[in-house]
């Protein structure tokens, strides 16, 4: 599901990142350049994101010689419902007629549970995340008092009857004014070529102004090809 939100990983860590940034200089813009390495060719993505409090907006474009070029734009925000519940909607549009949206519910305090749903119009879309777009999400996590956060969640197709399912184990580890975010992925489900399984990962390192990440996505977008992803960027 493309509900991956700010702070390097997803909406799951938005509260933790905001807390960690308390007292820091405001840097509302984030520019990211990514390179995607496939077996016989490369893809490039450039995007810029603006964030204020719990609201983000972004524009970007992805291009490779097989898929072509696709521009996209989107926004997400978070609403507090009482003291222990957050509602997190997200919308996105892209060229080639793509429209999509998601809605997450997170409940709890230092320990929390989450549930979400994503839907698209099933138009062509190059998914830059690990997960199915038309899917349900369920998980649980914990924000420790020292800035350590971890979460386990599953994103599972509930629309196209493919059995596509991504399990994530994700941890965010503080190191002074920087932090590392590590994600372990277990992927399974049906593709056009038959059933697949695979292990993947992502590793992000965030400094106050700069960040870098590397990821390996087996059977990217539940296809026959694997992908390495390298990205870096700057906040300003």
Please give the mean pLDDT across all residues of the chain.
91
Q: What is the DSSP code (8-state) at residue 123? A: -
**Among 142, 124, 141, residue whose Cα is nearest residue 133:** 124
pLDDT of residue 7: 38
Q: The tokens of 45 are what?
A: 């993505």
pLDDT tens per residue across span 100-159: 999 999 999 999 999 999 999 999 999 988 899 999 999 999 999 888 999 999 999 999
Q: Which domains does the chain have, with CATH numbers?
A: 11-235 (2.40.160.40)
Alpha-carbon 55 to chain mean position: 15
pLDDT tens per residue across span 51-110: 999 999 999 999 999 999 999 999 999 999 999 999 999 999 999 999 999 999 999 999
pLDDT of residue 159: 97
pLDDT of residue 130: 84
Residue 182 contacts by C-beta under 8 Å, 6 or more apart in sequence?
A: 170, 171, 173, 201, 202, 203, 204
Q: Is residue 25 pLDDT above 80, yes or no?
A: no
For residue 20, the SS3 value is helix
Q: The tokens of 100 are what?
A: 């999509």
pLDDT of residue 216: 98
Compute the distance between CA of residue 132 and CA of residue 153 in angstroms, rounded to an integer. 13
Q: Is residue 19 pLDDT above 90, yes or no?
A: no
Q: Residue 180: is it exposed, middle or buried by C-beta count within 10 angstroms (0-12/13-18/19+)?
A: middle
pLDDT of residue 10: 40
Q: Is residue 8 pLDDT above 80, yes or no?
A: no
**Among 183, 153, 179, residue whose Cα is nearest residue 171:** 183
| Paired residues of 29 in beta bridges | 50
Alpha-carbon 144 to chain mean position: 22
pLDDT of residue 24: 56
**Among 57, 86, 61, 82, residue whose Cα is nearest residue 72:** 61
Share of the chain above pLDDT 70, in %: 90
Q: Is residue 226 pLDDT above 50, yes or no?
A: yes
């Amino acid at each position: 599901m493309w509900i991956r939100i700010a702070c390097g990983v997803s909406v799951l860590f938005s509260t933790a990142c905001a807390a960690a940034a308390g007292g820091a200089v405001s840097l509302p813009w984030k520019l990211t350049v990514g390179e995607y390495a496939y077996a016989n060719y490369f893809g490039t993505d450039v995007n810029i994101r603006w964030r204020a409090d719990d609201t983000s907006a972004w524009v970007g474009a992805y291009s490779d010689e097989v898929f072509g070029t696709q521009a996209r734009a989107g926004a997400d925000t978070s609403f507090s419902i009482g003291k222990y519940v957050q509602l997190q909607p997200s919308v996105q549009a892209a060229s080639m007629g793509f429209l999509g949206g998601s809605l997450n519910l997170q409940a709890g305090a230092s320990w929390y549970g989450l549930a979400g749903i994503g839907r698209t119009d099933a138009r062509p879309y190059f998914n830059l995340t690990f997960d199915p777009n038309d899917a349900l999400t369920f998980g649980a996590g914990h924000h420790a008092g020292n800035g350590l956060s971890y979460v386990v969640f599953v994103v599972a197709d509930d629309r196209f009857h493919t059995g596509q399912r991504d399990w994530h184990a994700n941890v965010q580890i503080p190191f002074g004014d920087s932090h590392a975010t590590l994600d372990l992925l277990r992927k399974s489900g049906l593709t056009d070529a038959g059933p697949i399984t695979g292990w993947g990962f992502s590793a992000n390192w965030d400094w106050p102004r700069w960040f870098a990440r590397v990821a390996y996505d087996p059977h990217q977008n539940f296809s026959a090809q694997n992908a390495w992803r390298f990205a870096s960027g700057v906040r300003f």
